[in-house]
Structure 1
Amino acid sequence: MTIWTAVFLMVILSYIEADDYCYNEPYCDPYAWGDFFHSCHPLLEEHHSPIDLDLHMSRNTSLDALQLEGFEEVQGGHWTLENDGHSVVLLVGSGMSVSGGGLPGLYHTLQLHFHWGSPATNGSEHTLDSRRYPMEMHIVSMKSIHPNVSAALDDPTGLAVLGFFIDVVYADNVHFNYISQKLSTVAHKGQVSKIKPFALMSLLPKHNLSQYYRYHGSLTTPPCSQAVVWTVYEVPIYISWTQLAQFTSQIFSTEEDAEQVTPLQNNYRHIHPKFSRVVSASRDARVLLATAGRPVSPSVVLGLFHVCLLGLLTLVP
């Protein structure tokens, strides 16, 4: 090893330690995370996320709609919106919880965050029958028996994450404006802004919350702890092209005074094998199981037509 190679490696290692991880540089992107975070290495039979939600699943009739306590209410105080250099995170404080729907306990909701692509690429973490959506939103909740997240990460079911695909139409989602209109205040890494609480349910496809897919997996960011009960909903949230562009073009992974400003784009982890894991469709899940040769009702056909039409709209530049 030459002295210059050694110096280069020292610089890279110091950068990794200071900045944790990245998405777009070979030395710190998701394929390299295992070099610096042991639990991110996708060893055989380990339960990593995200995965492709394909036709190889069975229906579990015991999986009904989750109980989302406090999601219909406007919480007191203020919430905090933050750019942590890897995503935009909304810290929602206390007052909301998730339970039921086959979850092993009560989970207190902590935060939600987003994953997205670029102006030319989609960026959801999970894929639905190999389709990647423009964005994905994760609502993160911690099992109530744990005093903190560190303790929860040692429990295979310590966290419950609700995943929502985000698709694009032409009209603004007025409820999503609660977040999108504040993005300019957290455009750069490290910026924090107060946000007025709103009913979180207003963001969600509330008439389709009994339609989802369930599996056990991991965090999709370091330390990639295999401590997550995933609930991924099949009906997406819809936002406008303008609202999508606020993420893909106007959020940066660098600080405001950085010499070179870098857009935060394609902040998603690659798809991982399911191996022997069981992936279940909820009692009312429709899209994937309907396409597997089962009888399809007229209402499902209409729903599939709507999904396909909106999918075509996302291809329009």
Structure 2
Amino acid sequence: MCYLFAADICARLYFVHENCDLTKQTLSCVSDWCYQSQFTCDHQCNAPEKWDHANSNCAGKYQSPINIVTRKALKDERLTRFQFNNYQEIFRGSVKNNGHSVQVGIPHLRTISGGGLPATYKAVQFHLHWGTNGGPGSEHTIDGEQYPMELHIVHMKEQYTDLTTALSDSEGVAVLGFFYEVTILTEIFVFLLSEFDVTTNQILTSLAGISLSQLIPSEQNLTTYYRYKGSLTTPGCTEAVIWTLFESPIPLSADQLQVFSELKFRDGKPMVDTFRPVQPLNGRRVFRSGSAVILASSALLVAAMATALGLSQPN
């Protein structure tokens, strides 16, 4: 999840990488965190195993993501159906390359409740994590299986006005997670070239009218999910997140997934493998809801975002 950057405090840190010259030592700003795919001998940023240098919270005991072992998940009768309010309402969100992912802001008029949540939560934004050219890229794994991409719809308690305040509440944030898998689709999408610069940290364009309900399976097929308490999956790694992960993946074509590998990090490198490795469970319990089957939604999300980003379909 891409929300907070660590405090802009620089310190003298020496660290090396197994593929780098052991004599090379660099000064690095502790807020300069990165994914492993960005780390090089010339850019020795704080990769995931060094995120505690970016923010000490990243060394906490209840971090995310995790591997969910399905046979060990405990059935919880309190994990009932969700109530989705205004999820069907159309909105125009700003698509932004925030330097670590693609993120779309959501007007605070869409809420979730029920589903064993302790309060009503309003949607703030959604973003994605992916691999390389359709390869493994989800943050959470199911029985060790890593999917090509994972969607996070981020919510905060209804009474809060900003995410920073919500994160001071141990249950202030609720995230709905969905997995994507590669499959053959019959739809044909045409992605048009444009002049948007995807390497910069700026708003790219407005996403054409879309609703959250169009991005996910229908409500009657959202009854099977896993629940645990964890953290943000980027620095500052705040442990204030109620995670809900829907088990059955949504199908996308390989071409649609590969579109995201065309994006760039701030340093100009391909924006690939944008996931944090799974973290220790450290005694936490993972719960599961009922056993209804989740039907897959359409590929509208990637089609719409790829069009908004102005990326061409790979040859």
Q: TM-score, normalised on structure 2?
A: 0.77
Partner of 1:47: 62
Partner of 1:82: 96
Measured in 2, the distance between the counterparts of 1:151 and 1:275 equals 26
Q: Could you tell me which of 271, 281, 295 is aligned with 2:288?
A: 281
1:173–1:238 contact (8 Å) kept in structure 2 = no
Partner of 1:221: 234
Q: Which of the pair is proportionally richer in helix?
A: 1
1:50–1:126 contact (8 Å) kept in structure 2 = yes
Note the alpha carbon deviations across 1:97-142, whole angstroms, 9 max, x for none: 1111100101110000000011273100000110000000000001
Measured in 2, the distance between the counterparts of 1:119 and 1:94 equals 33
1:173–1:240 contact (8 Å) kept in structure 2 = no
Partner of 1:267: 274
Q: 1:185 to 1:238 in 2, by over 3 A?
A: farther
Q: 1:184 to 1:265 in 2, by over 3 A?
A: farther
2:167–2:238 contact (8 Å) kept in structure 1 = yes
Partner of 1:58: 74
Aligned length: 267
1:205–1:235 contact (8 Å) kept in structure 2 = no
Return the offset for 1:263.
0.1
Measured in 2, the distance between the counterparts of 1:81 and 1:263 equals 18
Return the offset for 1:64.
1.5
Return the offset for 1:181.
6.9
2:54–2:236 contact (8 Å) kept in structure 1 = no
Q: Does 1:190 align with 2:201?
A: yes
Secondary structure at the counterpart of residue 72 of structure 2: coil
The letter for the 2-side match of 1:280 is F
Partner of 1:163: 177
Q: Could you tell me which of 22, 43, 48 is aligned with 1:30?
A: 48
Q: Could you tell me which of 123, 147, 161 is aligned with 2:137?
A: 123
CA-based RMSD of the aligned residues comes to 2.8
Q: Could you tell me which of 242, 265, 268 is aligned with 1:253?
A: 265
Measured in 2, the distance between the counterparts of 1:133 and 1:247 equals 15
Measured in 2, the distance between the counterparts of 1:116 and 1:7 equals 31
Measured in 2, the distance between the counterparts of 1:251 and 1:275 equals 35
Q: Does 1:101 align with 2:90?
A: no
Q: What is the 5 A alignment of 1:193-212?
A: 193-206=205-218, 207-212=220-225
Return the offset for 1:51.
0.6
Return the offset for 1:272.
1.0
Q: 1:173 to 1:223 in 2, by over 3 A?
A: farther
Partner of 1:293: none
2:133–2:254 contact (8 Å) kept in structure 1 = no
Return the offset for 1:146.
2.1
Q: Does 1:9 align with 2:26?
A: yes
Partner of 2:148: 134
Measured in 1, the distance between the counterparts of 2:132 and 2:122 equals 32
Return the offset for 1:269.
0.5
1:89–1:113 contact (8 Å) kept in structure 2 = yes
1:109–1:139 contact (8 Å) kept in structure 2 = yes
Listed as ranges, the gaps of 5+ residues in structure 2 are 1-11, 13-21, 296-315
Identify the range of structure 1 (186-195 vs 223-232) with the bigger mean alpha-carbon deviation. Answer: 186-195
Return the offset for 1:283.
2.0
2:147–2:179 contact (8 Å) kept in structure 1 = yes
Measured in 2, the distance between the counterparts of 1:183 and 1:284 equals 44
Measured in 2, the distance between the counterparts of 1:115 and 1:182 equals 23
Secondary structure at the counterpart of residue 95 of structure 1: coil
Q: Does 1:67 align with 2:83?
A: yes
1:35–1:41 contact (8 Å) kept in structure 2 = no
1:57–1:280 contact (8 Å) kept in structure 2 = yes
Measured in 2, the distance between the counterparts of 1:49 and 1:270 equals 9
The letter for the 1-side match of 2:63 is H
Measured in 2, the distance between the counterparts of 1:268 and 1:8 equals 26
Q: TM-score, normalised on structure 1?
A: 0.77
Note the alpha carbon deviations across 1:41-100, whole angstroms, 9 max, x for none: 14xxx111001111211111221221111111213xx31100011000011122211111
Measured in 2, the distance between the counterparts of 1:184 and 1:100 equals 43
Q: 1:194 to 1:22 in 2, by over 3 A?
A: same
